[in-house]
Structure formats: C-alpha cells, structure tokens
Structure 1
Amino acid sequence: MKNDEYLDVNRALWDERVPIHVGSEFYDVAGFRAGADALRDFELAEVGDVSGRSLAHLQCHFGLDTLSWARRGARVTGLDFSAPAIETARSLASETGLDARFVVSDVYAAPEALGETYDIVYTGLGAICWLPDIARWARTVAALLRPGGFLYLSEFHPFADTLDEETGTTVTFDYFDRGPQEWTQSGTYADRSAPTRHNRSISFAHGVGDVVSAVIAAGLRLDFLHEHEYTVFAPFQNLQKDGQIYRVPEGRPRVPLMYSLRATRA
C-alpha cells in the first residue's frame, strides 16, 4: 500500500455512502430533525455538561453527533475528509437552526485546518480504525486541546473484532495484527442491501494498550478507561437487543464490546 492510498480508497467509499446513510432507518435523520438526540447515554454521562464549551468532533461523518452536542449547548466544530458528508452536515445545521462550523480535512491536518484550540475533542464510534498511525492521531488531538481541555473517545472494543462473526464465541482473528486490513464488501452497515460501487476499504487495528499509550505519550493525563459489556451495533448474530443497545445473552460469558476513555491536557 502506498502512503496515502488508504485516504483515496476510503474517501471514495465514504463519499458514496453519505446519501445512503442520510436516507437510512439506522441514522433516522427525520427523527433528528424532529428533535431526537443521536448521542448515547453513557457518552452524555461521561462527558458531562458541555454548555458554553468549545468542542471539536473529529471524523464527524455528516454531523449528527456534532449537532447533538450543539443542541446541548456546546460551540461545535465538525471535521471530516468527505466533502459530501460536510456539505450534508452544513445543510442539516441550517435546517435545524443549529450553530455549527464544519470543515473538510484529513484528521492529521486538523490543527492547521481548524486554526484554534478547544475545551473538548470528541471522537465517536468506528473512527480510529480508519487511521494508520495512532500515535500521530494522539499528538493531533493534544495540539487541538487548550490547557485543561480533554479528549473523549468512545469506540468499539478491539477484542470483539477477534471473535467469529456468526456467534461471537470463538477467537478467530489475531488481536495483534495491526494491518493494514483490506476488505471488499458492498452495501453498508446502515443498509446491507444498498447497491454500491466503491466497495474496497483499508482499515487498521489499534489495541486498547496502543491507544492508551499513545494518549499518554502525547502528554495527556488519563482520567478513566471504561470497558462496556454492551454495544450500539450488533457485530454478532446472537446478541440480544435491550432498548437501544445489544448484549450477550444471559448465562453466556460476557466480553468487552465497547470502551471509552477521557484524557486531560494539563
């Protein structure tokens, strides 16, 4: 793989999927327009009150989470490498009357593209697997934080990615394989049957230890690391839905399905 091949390949994939996601039941954009919140309860509890605080959302896709933080009083900036995603985010902000800034940029160029620092840098689920260099990402985050500001990351747990896709009971994939991992799959997690043309993607695995070590090496103080036994997206067929989340069936050994961390710049 050439140095920036992952950017071109993944950008084509995400550009194509923006209108599919906007129209999907999974994202429920109509519900958001009507006032629904796209954020998860555990995120709200762990981040806390954002009223009047500046928040940068890296890899924001088309901005539902970003705009949800705006609804809760934050002064928000969303950044994503997909121009169609950012165009859609700006349209949603205008439609809903929410004050938000959206910028097209590769995440590693965020300090230059945004030109300011923030109280909070937020990164939501399914984001860092698209980045090849987690140490560079952590340094980027640190550069975006003002003193006393914090990073909040919520992610799918990498251990869950080692389990077989059908039952989630057998370790099938290598936890320490750091990629790049190439996939070719039509459709999207929001609509498996959607016809798509750009189906190749390049992703990268980052263990929890990799992420925590990178954050600390970038000069941030780890406030907490929480592992969660539930997930908001079912990677295995036999997980049971419990409201808006999915859990391992009762009586079966539980494994971590998501994790979250917060780290502060001194």
Structure 2
Amino acid sequence: MSTQLDHQSAPDGWHEDNRAMWDERVPVHVAGTYYDLDGFRAHPDVLRDFETAEVGDVTGKTLLHLQCHIGTDTLSWARRGAARVVGLDFSAPAVEAARALAADLGHGPERAAFVTSDVYDAAEAVPEASYDIVYTGLGALCWLPDIRRWAETAASLVAPGGFLYLAEFHPLTEALDDATGSQIAHDYFRREAQVWDEPGTYADPHAPTVHNRSVSWQHTLGDVVSALAATGLRIEFLHEHEVSLFPRFENFEVRDGYHRFPADQPRIPLIYSLKASKS
C-alpha cells in the first residue's frame, strides 16, 4: 500500500527509512532461493541476454556498478572478463555480503571491490576517478529523487571513450492496472514521492520484516534520457524490451525464461535499456 506526497514535501528521514528497509532484507536475500547464491557460486553469471549483447565484450575493461545490492550482477561482469569491477551501494550489509561473495569466488579487492556510499556521493567514494563502463541495473532509479543529479554523477565517472549502460523497468508499466496491464490506471507523469508500507520483499513476500516503510519516485523515460543528454554524453541507443524479470501484472506467463504478457495480448515495453558514450 502506498500514499503519495509532493516531491518537495517528501517525509523527513526518507533516506534512513530506505536504508533500514534494504539493510533488513539483505540476510533474507542472501539466504533465500531467489538469488540462489549457492547456484551463483557454481555459475556466477546472472546477466540478461540483452544486457550482454548490448554492452558487448568487457574483456580487460574497468566497470563501475552503481546501486549494486549484494553484487551478483557486478560479479557476473567479472566472470565475463572485466579486468576490475567496483560495486557501490548505500547498504553496508549489502556491501559486506557482496565482499563475502567475491571472496568465495576467489576475487580479491584488486579484481572486485565494493564500496558503501550513497550514489550521489559516488565520485568521492569509489577508488578510481573514471571507468570504461558505468553500469546501472534493473530496479535502481526509483529509489532516487533527483534524476538529474544521478545523471551528472554517473556521467562524471565515465572515462573518455567509455560509456554508461542502463537497464531499467519501463515507467509505462507504473501507469497501468496491476491485473492485466491493459488499462491506464495511474498518472504516468506523477512527480510526487510514493511512501510505501509493505512487509516482506520481492525475493520472499512472506518474510517477517520490521522496517517496512520506504519512499520511491517515478522517472519518465523522457526525464532519464534528457538528464543524460544534458551531461554531454552521446545517446547511442534506446531500446525497449517486451520482457520482464518478475510478474509485474497478474496475467503474466513465463516463456523463454522471462515474464511476458499472454501471447494473444497486445504488447507494451516492460524494460528499456540505453547506452550513452563519452568522447
């Protein structure tokens, strides 16, 4: 259940609420079947096929993963040949879990480093001034109130000749009804903060939790692209994908490893991805 507040009047303590929520859920994610860390240790690659195709060969490159959570995506890029990966997250327990996972895979901090920091402070927190690839994965941007500040921070960390790659859930899905995704039910252009009070976690809806209050924001596709373009990065592509990683709508089916609309229903984009390069 959520309530909505004007962006400027977002409740005091929203950042602390969000961090407490994520901190509490880390042990649930580490121990549960959703992330299946035992399986990951055996085969450390959970990247989606469209991500690996669009990013291309990362062999010998440095990669920074903003909002990395427990590091599975970060370490997957190392598995695919990145010379050095750095993950950043504001949750200290998540960073500790990522470091432990890296150690289990035999990666020392010179190959895979993890840093605790707010994403807006990333430029001061990460060990290198810039990276060949700055990566942000699915489900990250909604936790940030200021998308322009995020874009400026991320762009500042891209090395000359490098690029930023973003994969994110499509904001159009947040305007549709939860049952079928076929009717407009919410304002696509809402800018106000959404305050949630929900127990459990996407990885285990029935997990007993105490810190259930969180605050999120919706960013339109235009807001994200415009924010990145304003930094001087060159938008190489913007792709839209008809698949999702979770049953966003109640009528979803699983086909070819992804959650999708029924085959007889008109499709809409569920995920988007973009690449923006620095000269």
**Shorter-chain TM-score range:** over 0.9
Change in 2 beyond 3 A, CA 1:36/1:77: closer
Deviation per residue, 1:190-241 (Å, 9 max, x gap): 1010000000110010000000000000110000000111111111111110
Deviation per residue, 1:98-147 (Å, 9 max, x gap): 23000000000000111421000000000010000101001001110111
Aligned residue for 2:186? Answer: 173
- Alignment partner of 1:241 is 2:254: yes
Corresponding letter in the other structure for 1:112: E
Find the partner of 2:87 among 70, 75, 78.
78
Aligned residue for 2:34? Answer: 26
Partners of 2:12 and 2:69 in 1: CA distance:
20
Partners of 1:70 and 1:17 in 2: CA distance:
25
Identity, in percent, stands at 60
Partners of 2:257 and 2:242 in 1: CA distance:
14
Corresponding letter in the other structure for 1:114: V
Partners of 2:12 and 2:62 in 1: CA distance:
31
Give the alignment of 1:217-256 within 5 angstroms: 217-256=230-269
Aligned residue for 2:138? Answer: 125
- Alignment partner of 1:95 is 2:99: no
Shift of 1:243: 2.9
Unaligned runs of 5+ in 2: 1-8
* SS across alignment from 1:230: coil
- Alignment partner of 1:108 is 2:117: no
Mean CA deviation greater in 103-112 or 4-13: 4-13
Aligned 8 A contact 2:175 2:187 in 1: yes
Find the partner of 1:42 among 39, 47, 50.
50
Aligned 8 A contact 2:99 2:114 in 1: yes
* TM-score, normalisation: structure 2: 0.93
Aligned residue for 2:62? Answer: 54
Partners of 1:165 and 1:50 in 2: CA distance:
37
Give the alignment of 1:158-197 within 5 angstroms: 158-197=171-210
Partners of 2:142 and 2:46 in 1: CA distance:
21
Shift of 1:4: 6.7
Deviation per residue, 1:6-37 (Å, 9 max, x gap): 21110000000001111222111111011141
Deviation per residue, 1:144-187 (Å, 9 max, x gap): 01111100000000001111112222211110001211111000
Corresponding letter in the other structure for 2:165: Y
* TM-score, normalisation: structure 1: 0.97
Mean CA deviation greater in 228-237 or 148-157: 228-237
- Alignment partner of 1:17 is 2:28: no
Mean CA deviation greater in 196-205 or 239-248: 239-248
Partners of 1:243 and 1:5 in 2: CA distance:
42
* SS across alignment from 1:176: coil
Change in 2 beyond 3 A, CA 1:159/1:79: same
Partners of 1:178 and 1:234 in 2: CA distance:
25
* SS across alignment from 1:231: coil
Find the partner of 1:64 among 68, 72, 75.
72
- The runs of 4+ residues in structure 1 deviating greater than 4 Å are 1-4
Partners of 1:65 and 1:46 in 2: CA distance:
15
Aligned 8 A contact 2:44 2:72 in 1: no
* SS across alignment from 2:259: strand
- Alignment partner of 1:140 is 2:149: no
RMSD: 1.2
